[in-house]
Structure 1
C-alpha cells in the first residue's frame, strides 16, 4: 500500500492530523529551499520523537572518508556529503515552565501542515494540551526567500486558550549538530565564535577538512496581539549554542507572536573575515522590510517562476498536485544563478546520495531548465562540467587511462569521483555519454552553438579518448567490445557489452568527430587553441573512428531485439507480473546475489538508449523493445517511470503512459518506494515534466523546429504548458481532439504538429 495522507489540492500540499509515524516523511515532503540553502520541515519547537534534522547550504560539503572492507587501486578516498548545517530555525517554547513538545502533549487537535506552492510558504498549526494542563493554539509560518538567497523568515504565534499564564520563547542557533548519514560519525563542524548583540546573534563555524567558513545568524522580535514588545532577552551562550529567552505574561485569548529572521552567509560569496558584517546587513534588510514585506516579495518571486514553469491539468486533482509539487521542488533546488552549484538527487531534502551531482542532471534535468528558464541557466549546468574537466582527466588517470582521456565522476562535489561502491565507481561509466548527450541536447534546443567551441569540444575530446581506450578488440567477434560494466540497470553488475553503454560510446565518438569538423570550418581560432591544448592528431581520430565503426552491439535474432548485455537470455525470464507482491521492492526483500541473477531491471536501460536516440530507430523497433523489456522492469529507480511514460505515449498506449506519469509525479507524495523519509527524488521530478511535455505533448526538436504529436489521457479535460524556445515563449494547450498554440514573440514561427507545418503569427492563438 502506498501512503495516502496528503490531501489532494491543486495548489497546496496539505497534511491533516498528527501522526508521529509520519513526522519524518512530512519533514521531507514539506522541505523548503531557495537554490542557495534548504531545510527539512523540522519543528521550530522541541520534539523528542523520531525526527531527521536537516539544514543544508548549497556548495558546502564534507569529504567523509570512504568505508570499505578492502582497498582497491583507484578507489575514491572519500564520499562527499552535503552536511547538516548549523540550525537557525529553533524556538524553545515553555508555558508555565512546561516545554511544548508534541511527543509529550496529552492532547493534540486540529493539527495541519500546508505548503502553499503558488506563494512559496509553509504553515503548521495545531491545538495542544501540555502535561501541566495548559492548552495552547500554535501557528507557525516559514519560508526561505527567493528574493534574498541568504535569508529565511518565521512567524511563530502562540495563544493560551483556557487561562492566562507565563510563556517563554527562546529563539536560538545551534551548531552542535550531527549528520543522519555518516560513515565514521566524524565531527563535521568546528564552531569558532558565538556572538550576541541586542536582538541579533550569530555563530561562526567552519567545516573540518574542506574549511568552508559560515556564519549562521538570527534576529527576533515579539508582539502581543499585534503590539510590539520591547523587553530585553535573557542571553544563554554555550560553545555551540546561543539563545535569546523572552518571558511574557500572556492573558487568556491573546496571541504572542515571535518573528525570527535567520540564514547563512558563506565564504563562497563573502570574505571570511566579513561574514558577520554580511549577516548583519542581511538582517538589516529583513528588519526594514518586515515579515509581511518579505512574504509579499516571496509571492511575487514565485508568481514569476510559475508564470513560465507551471503546467495546468484540468479534471485530475492528484495529477495536478503531483506536477506542481515536482516543479516547486526543482525550482527550490536550483535557480541557475551560480555555475558552482548543481542538482543533487535529494536536493536540500535529505542526505542520501551525499547531495552530490550525478548523471541525472544531464540525462533528466537540463530539458526542464532549458525550456522553463533560459539557455543561460542550462549553459551554467554545462559550464559546471567544463570546469571539472581536469578533474575528470585525473579520475581516468587513477584508473590507468592516459593522454587526456576523461572519465566524469558518477558522484561529485568538486569534480573528483567520490562514490564508494565499486560497481558504480569503476563500472557505471555510461555517465560519460550523458554529459556528451547534454551538450548535443543543449545545442539542438537552444541553437546556441558557441558552447561547443568555447568549452564543449574539449569535454567531448576527453570523453571520446576515454571510450577509445575503454574498448578492446575481440578476436572471435572481430569487433570492439566494452567489458566489465554496469549499465543504467544497477541490478546487473560487471556485465560485458551492455548495449546502452556500447551504443552511446559509439555515438559519443562520432558526435565528437562531427564537432571537430564543424569547429575547424567555422571557428578556426578556437580550433587551433583546442588542438594545441589537447594535442589531438588525425592519426588518433582515425583510431577512434575505427572503434566506432566496429563497435559490437549484442542482438537476438530470435526476439529481434538488442540484448541488454551478453548473456541476458541465459536468465530465467519470468515477468514482473508473476512475482509475489510481498517480494517488492526487491532491493529491500532479496539478497544482492538473487537480484543479480534475476532478469529484473531497476530502470530503463536498453530503453534509455531508445529514449536518447529515438530518431535512430523506427516506431516498430521501439514497440518491439518496449514489449520485450518493460515486463521485466520493476521501476525501483525514481528515474524509470518517466522514460517509460514518454515511450508508452509515443506508442499511443495512453492508459500505460498515464499510469507511469502518475507514478513519477506522485512518487514521493504517495511514497511508492517506501523511502520518502530519507528525502525527495529531486532529479526524477524533471522526468515528470518530461512525461507531460515530451510524452503527452510529443515535443521533439527536429531540424531546428519544434515538433508536436499531442495526446491527452482520458482522465483529463485539458492540460497546458509553456516553452521558452530560443527566446520565444510558446504556450501549448491540449484538449480532446484539439491542440492550441499561442506565440509570445515579435515574429512568426513555424512548427510541425502531427507532421504538418503550422505557422504561428505573433501574439495569436492557432488551433489545430
Structure 2
C-alpha cells in the first residue's frame, strides 16, 4: 500500500512510500514514483526484474513511427536500470524467501528514489539491501544508481549483473534498428540505437564502480550488453555498486541547428560520463538535490496548514510531476498526457497542456510557459496543412501532436465495441476541434499575466490570426435561422460525438474571432512594422472584415429561461436520462462501457467530463465576461445541472468542478473533489496509474489550491483574489508571477497578506475591492461558511 507519513524531520510531508512488496502493484508504483528532469523520464521499475513490470526510459522529442499502420509515438529506449542479483548461483527476487522491513520511498524534495529491506533466502541466509537512484536536474543527461548488499548471518557467493538492455519495446512495437553494443574494459558499457523511421540516434553509456574486487564476466546478447561481478561476502561485510549512465540523442539542443551524426552523439555521452564519474554517487546526488532546491522548491513551493497532512503532500506531488515531465529546456517539445511516466497516449500533447498544465507555469515560471507555447507555434505549418486537407483555411491544430511538423497523430481506432465486438473508431483527431481555440486562449492568458509583447510579436499574433481564419472557414450557414453554426464536432465531453453546436466549441471559436479582431485593431494602430509583416503574410485586412461578419452572426447557445442551463449541444437536454448512481460510485473510470457502446452513450444524458463548466470558468477570465454575462447565478445553475450527469471519467474533470464549486462556496464538495483529484494517482487504487500518471489531473491539484481555494484569478480588470479556504485548511502560502514581479501570498482564515520586493504600486482586486500593493498589503478576511 501507499503510505504518506514516512517522511520525518525536514522531509515531513515530502515522501511517498510503498510499505510492502506486492507483485500485483508494480506498475502503479513505477508510474507514481517515476523520476525525470524534463529531458528524460525514467519509470521506477525495480533493479531486479519481475513478470508484469513495465520498464520505460523516454527522452522527450524522439518520436518515431514503428510501422506505417501505427501513429508516431515516443519510443521506449534501452533499459539501463536492471541489475540482477544472484545468491549462491540462484537469481534473487522478492517472490521467494522472506522479506522484512521493506520500504520504497520517493522523496519529492530530493527527487531521489530509495529502497531498503532485509531478505532471507530459502536456505536461511539473510541480507540487507539498499538501492538508490536519481535522474539528475544538475546534469540532465545523467542517471545515477547505487546498490548496497550486506551479508548479515552467513557467508555467500554473490553476483551482480548490470546491463543496457535494448530488447525493450513499446508494448510490442519495436522502434529501433538492431543496436550496436560495446564493452570497454571491465566497467564501461556502450549501446547505440537508431529509430527506424525518424532516424534519431541515441547513445547510452554506463560506467560501474564496485567497492570490492571481483571476478568479471562480460555479457553480450541480441540487443543487450552487460557485465557481471562475482565475489564472496562474509557476515557483516557490505559491497557497493555505483552505476552512472549518460544519455544523448542526435536531436538534443547541444547539436542545434543541424543535429549530429552518430559518432558525435556517442562521443558526447562518453565525455559527459568521464566528467561526472570523477565524483561519487553521493556527491552527484547532492548536486542534483541542490538544483531541485534552487530551481524548483525555492520558486514553487506551497505551504498548506491542513487537518490532513496528505493535502500538503499532494500539492508537492503535483509540482514534482509537473517538473519532471516538462521539457523546459527545449521549445521544440510539448508535454505528453502521461508526462514521461508511461506509454499511455504515446507521449502526445493534447489540450491538457494549454488548459490544465500551462497555467501553473504561466503563473509560476513564465519562461517555461513561453517555451510550451512556442512549441505550438512551431506546429503552425502542420496545423495549416491539416486545415487544407480538411477543406478549411487558416490553422487547424492537431488533436494529438508529437513532432511539431508531424501533423495529426491521433490513432484511428481504439477500444473494442462492447456490442458489436469491432474496434471502435477514434473520432477525436477528425472532429474534436476546440483545441485550436484553446491554444488561442492560452496565448491570450499568457500575455495578460506576463505582458510579454515580444512573444506576441514573434509568435502569438500569427497563431491567433490564423486560428481565427480556421474558425471563419469552419462555420456553416443556417439559412433558416440566419446564423453561423458548427456541426459534427466533439466538445470536451467525449461521450457526445457528432453533435451540432457544442456550446464550448461555439463560444470558444467566438472568443478566438473576437481576440483576433482585438489584436488586429491594436496592431494596426500601435505597431505598424509587425502589422505590415503579418498583413503581407496573412492578408489581415481582408480577413478582419470576415472575422467581424462571422462573429456578429455565430450562434452562441443561450441559457434556458426557466433554469439558466446552457444546452451543451443541440440535443443534449432532450436526451433520455438513466440512473447513473453506480457509475458515479465506480472505482475505475469508464465502467459505463461495460453496459453501453459509444452510439448508445451518445443518446443519453451522461457526460464524461467538464464541458459547459470549463467554458464558464475560462471565459470569465477574458474580456468577454461582461458581454456574455456569465454571472455567479448562471454558473451555479449549470453546475447543479451538469455535475450530477458527469461521471468524471476523464481525470481532468474534477479540477474544473472543484474550482467552480469554490466560487460559490460549496466548500465541502470542492474539498472532496480536491481529494478525489489527488487520489487518482496518489491514492490507494492500484490500477489507476498503470499506463502512467495523469498530467492534467496532477496539474489540477495545484490549480484547485491556487485558483480555487486561494481564489487567485485573472479577470478583465487584472489580478483578483477571493479566498474560500475549505474548512479543513487553516492557511496556504505560495508564490505567483504577475507581470514581471513575484508576489508572495499568505492566506489564513482571518487575513490575506501579499508582498513583493519592489515598491512599484500594483492594483489587485481582493474580495471585489481594488487595493494598491506596494511592498506588503494585508487585508482582513472572514472565511466562515459551510
Structure 2 length as normaliser, TM-score? 0.91
What SS is found at the alignment partner of 2:770?
strand
Q: How has the CA–CA distance of structure 1 residues 154 and 661 changed in structure 2, closer, same or farther, with 3 Å as cutoff?
A: same
Give the CA deviation at 1:699.
0.9
Report the Cα distance in structure 2 between the residues aligned to 1:493 and 1:16, rounded to whole angstroms.
44
What SS is found at the alignment partner of 1:450?
helix
Residue by residue over 1:377-434, the C-alpha shift from the partner in whole angstroms, topping out at 9 and shown as x without a partner, is 11111111111111111111221224xx211111111131010244101110001111
Residue by residue over 1:89-110, the C-alpha shift from the partner in whole angstroms, topping out at 9 and shown as x without a partner, is 121211111111223x221222
Report the Cα distance in structure 1 between the residues aligned to 2:516 and 2:527, rounded to whole angstroms.
15
Return 699-708 or 122-131, whichever deviates more. 699-708
Confirm whether residue 410 of structure 1 aligns to residue 369 of structure 2: no
Q: Provide the residue aligned with 2:315 in structure 1.
A: 323
Residue by residue over 1:178-223, the C-alpha shift from the partner in whole angstroms, topping out at 9 and shown as x without a partner, is 222x5xx445443134343442111011110011100011001112
Q: How has the CA–CA distance of structure 1 residues 704 and 153 changed in structure 2, closer, same or farther, with 3 Å as cutoff?
A: farther
Report the Cα distance in structure 2 between the residues aligned to 1:64 and 1:301, rounded to whole angstroms.
36
Q: How has the CA–CA distance of structure 1 residues 643 and 673 changed in structure 2, closer, same or farther, with 3 Å as cutoff?
A: farther
In structure 2, which of residues 42, 46, 54 is the aligned counterpart of residue 43 of structure 1? 46
Confirm whether residue 163 of structure 1 aligns to residue 154 of structure 2: yes
Q: Provide the residue aligned with 1:380 in structure 2.
A: 371
Counterpart contact for 2:2–2:683, Cα < 8 Å: yes
Give the CA deviation at 1:461.
2.0
Confirm whether residue 541 of structure 1 aligns to residue 530 of structure 2: no
Counterpart contact for 1:343–1:683, Cα < 8 Å: no
Confirm whether residue 607 of structure 1 aligns to residue 598 of structure 2: no
Q: How has the CA–CA distance of structure 1 residues 703 and 447 changed in structure 2, closer, same or farther, with 3 Å as cutoff?
A: farther
Q: How has the CA–CA distance of structure 1 residues 55 and 482 changed in structure 2, closer, same or farther, with 3 Å as cutoff?
A: same
Residue by residue over 1:313-335, the C-alpha shift from the partner in whole angstroms, topping out at 9 and shown as x without a partner, is 11321111111111100011115
What SS is found at the alignment partner of 2:448?
helix
In structure 2, which of residues 54, 58, 66 is the aligned counterpart of residue 56 of structure 1? 58
What SS is found at the alignment partner of 1:219?
strand
Counterpart contact for 1:45–1:90, Cα < 8 Å: yes
Residue by residue over 1:291-324, the C-alpha shift from the partner in whole angstroms, topping out at 9 and shown as x without a partner, is 1111111221111211111111113211111111
- Return the structure number with greater relative CO, CA threshold 8 A, min gap 6: 1
Residue by residue over 1:26-46, the C-alpha shift from the partner in whole angstroms, topping out at 9 and shown as x without a partner, is 111111111111111111123
Report the Cα distance in structure 2 between the residues aligned to 1:536 and 1:767, rounded to whole angstroms.
47
Q: Provide the residue aligned with 2:640 in structure 1.
A: 627
Q: Provide the residue aligned with 1:98 in structure 2.
A: 90
Q: How has the CA–CA distance of structure 1 residues 676 and 584 changed in structure 2, closer, same or farther, with 3 Å as cutoff?
A: closer
In structure 2, which of residues 199, 210, 220 is the aligned counterpart of residue 237 of structure 1? 220
Report the Cα distance in structure 2 between the residues aligned to 1:360 and 1:757, rounded to whole angstroms.
33
Q: Provide the residue aligned with 1:288 in structure 2.
A: 278
Residue by residue over 1:421-461, the C-alpha shift from the partner in whole angstroms, topping out at 9 and shown as x without a partner, is 44101110001111000110001100112222221122122
Give the CA deviation at 1:579.
5.6
Report the Cα distance in structure 2 between the residues aligned to 1:379 and 1:469, rounded to whole angstroms.
28
Report the Cα distance in structure 2 between the residues aligned to 1:748 and 1:672, rounded to whole angstroms.
49
Confirm whether residue 451 of structure 1 aligns to residue 449 of structure 2: no
Matches within 5 A, 1:719-758: 719-758=732-771
Counterpart contact for 1:190–1:208, Cα < 8 Å: no
Residue by residue over 1:343-377, the C-alpha shift from the partner in whole angstroms, topping out at 9 and shown as x without a partner, is 1111111111111111111111111012222x221
What SS is found at the alignment partner of 2:610?
coil
Matches within 5 A, 1:82-121: 82-103=74-95, 105-121=96-112
Q: Provide the residue aligned with 1:73 in structure 2.
A: none
Give the CA deviation at 1:701.
2.7
Give the CA deviation at 1:65.
4.3
Report the Cα distance in structure 2 between the residues aligned to 1:606 and 1:324, rounded to whole angstroms.
30
Report the Cα distance in structure 1 between the residues aligned to 2:586 and 2:662, rounded to whole angstroms.
30
Report the Cα distance in structure 1 between the residues aligned to 2:754 and 2:139, rounded to whole angstroms.
35
Return 7-16 or 33-42, whichever deviates more. 7-16
Q: Provide the residue aligned with 1:277 in structure 2.
A: 267
Q: Provide the residue aligned with 1:204 in structure 2.
A: 192
Give the CA deviation at 1:88.
1.1
Confirm whether residue 460 of structure 1 aligns to residue 472 of structure 2: no
Report the Cα distance in structure 2 between the residues aligned to 1:167 and 1:332, rounded to whole angstroms.
35
Return 237-246 or 640-649, whichever deviates more. 237-246
Matches within 5 A, 1:354-753: 354-373=346-365, 375-402=366-393, 405-415=394-404, 416-421=407-412, 422-538=426-542, 540-555=543-558, 556-574=560-578, 576-577=580-581, 581=585, 585=589, 586-592=591-597, 593-614=599-620, 615=625, 616=628, 617-670=630-683, 674-702=687-715, 705-753=718-766
Report the Cα distance in structure 2 between the residues aligned to 1:673 and 1:399, rounded to whole angstroms.
42
Counterpart contact for 2:2–2:19, Cα < 8 Å: no
Q: How has the CA–CA distance of structure 1 residues 4 and 159 changed in structure 2, closer, same or farther, with 3 Å as cutoff?
A: closer
Report the Cα distance in structure 2 between the residues aligned to 1:509 and 1:580, rounded to whole angstroms.
37
Give the CA deviation at 1:672.
6.1
Counterpart contact for 1:157–1:255, Cα < 8 Å: yes
Report the Cα distance in structure 1 between the residues aligned to 2:505 and 2:68, rounded to whole angstroms.
27
In structure 2, which of residues 195, 199, 209 is the aligned counterpart of residue 221 of structure 1? 209
RMSD, aligned CA: 2.1
Give the CA deviation at 1:767.
4.7
Report the Cα distance in structure 1 between the residues aligned to 2:461 and 2:85, rounded to whole angstroms.
58
Give the CA deviation at 1:581.
4.0
What SS is found at the alignment partner of 1:314?
strand
Q: Provide the residue aligned with 2:289 in structure 1.
A: 299
Report the Cα distance in structure 2 between the residues aligned to 1:724 and 1:695, rounded to whole angstroms.
17
Report the Cα distance in structure 2 between the residues aligned to 1:176 and 1:728, rounded to whole angstroms.
49
Q: How has the CA–CA distance of structure 1 residues 745 and 672 changed in structure 2, closer, same or farther, with 3 Å as cutoff?
A: farther
What SS is found at the alignment partner of 1:246?
strand
Q: How has the CA–CA distance of structure 1 residues 447 and 7 changed in structure 2, closer, same or farther, with 3 Å as cutoff?
A: same
Report the Cα distance in structure 1 between the residues aligned to 2:2 and 2:284, rounded to whole angstroms.
33
